[in-house]
Amino acid sequence: MALPSSTSSASAGAPFERAALVHHTGASLASRLPAPGWRTRFAPAPTGYLHLGHVVNAVFVWGIARAFGGRVLLRLEDHDVSRCRPEYEAALLDDLDWLGFVPDESPTRCFRVGTTPHRQSDNARAYERALAQLDAAGLVYPCTCSRRDILALTGPVDPGVEPRYPGTCRRAHHAPDRTVARRVRLDDTVVHFHDLRRGAQQQQPAAECGDVLVRDRHGQWTYQFAVVVDDLAQGIDVIIRGEDLLASTGRQLLLAASLGRTAPPRLLHHPLLTHADGRKLSKSAGDTGVRELRAAGWRADALIGEAAYRAGLLASPRAVAAREVAALFAHTG
């Protein structure tokens, strides 16, 4: 099976392109990371099968960790139980083993034998405790608003754009038993942070997204909340993820501070693989997956090398084994 390129169609029906990468590497990146022994995480959601975009994230996570003294923790972010499936989790673990990316903490076997706090659906008590802590500080309120309700007030938004919550239920003072959904109040703080690839950033979450939904009307914990609680509890010092999540950073830093985090994590948002029309690769869109490429005869090192090339880390495709990805960062820049 040939991978989609700028001259061949992706499985979703459109080509995708090589990312242009401008990033800090070598001594520049090392100077901004914590002392050796720091922790990062690889945290996919088992809502579908892994695709090449996940391999790009693994290259960045393991490459930077191996090059600069970090440790990698594996976490499965299955907070959205309506979309996650056991078969997706099993396939994800198999693909990770096949690629050769070995976590330093919570190896794949931990998820195969039982419960673990590194699987979000096993970690409800931690989220309940964190919510109670925020509630005791007067920051939590019930929210009955659906996305349709919010759009009716704010007007339509472009695809992929998050509507700003207008604070309807903040002023309504609903009884706690009216809904299980909860939001956390955000003040007008402007959050300043440094991204290791994109430099100085500032966000004002209250103006950009409004109060954060932390548990939805179905009782599910949201990504924005669960990831903050996990990163704090699991001692994550460096967060390495796709740049589609950059806009989430400010609100997550505010939530973390409200939960007692005093030293914010280092952050690096890497480029995404996208189709020519700008859409990112997606499990839900049926983009070519790791399992299909394995079945078609691709070698793991060839696929990792292709991912590194597509991400702008190599000038041309070549085989790169998982144990070799540190060299993509330690000897450049």
The one-letter amino acid at 36: P
Report how far residue 301's alpha carbon sits from residue 328's, in angstroms, rounded to the nearest whole number.
14
* Ranges of residues in the chain whose predicted pLDDT is under 70: 1-27, 275-287, 331-333
Q: What is the pLDDT of residue 158?
A: 80
Q: What is the pLDDT of residue 157?
A: 81
Report how far residue 292's alpha carbon sits from residue 26's, in angstroms, rounded to the nearest whole number.
34
Q: Which two tokens stand for residue 155?
A: 């007007």
Output the pTM of the full model.
0.90
Per-residue model confidence as pLDDT tens digits over 101-133: 999 999 999 999 989 999 999 999 999 999 999
The answer to whether 40 touches 65, Cβ cutoff 8 Å, is: yes
CA 312 to chain centre: 20
Q: Which two tokens stand for residue 235?
A: 């001692």
Helices (H), 203-264: 205-208, 223-233, 249-258
Which of these, 195, 198, 205, lies nearest to 162 by C-alpha position? 205
The one-letter amino acid at 263: A
Report how far residue 292's alpha carbon sits from residue 289's, in angstroms, rounded to the nearest whole number.
5
Q: Using CA atoms of 9, 12, 18, 20 in order, give the dihedral in degrees to the nearest 10.
A: 140
Q: What is the pLDDT of residue 28?
A: 78
Q: What is the pLDDT of residue 300?
A: 98
**250 contacts: CB under 8 Å, gap ≥ 6:** 191, 193, 202, 203, 204, 205, 208
Per-residue model confidence as pLDDT tens digits over 178-228: 999 999 999 999 999 999 999 999 999 999 999 999 999 999 999 999 999
Q: What is the pLDDT of residue 24?
A: 44
Q: What is the pLDDT of residue 169?
A: 97
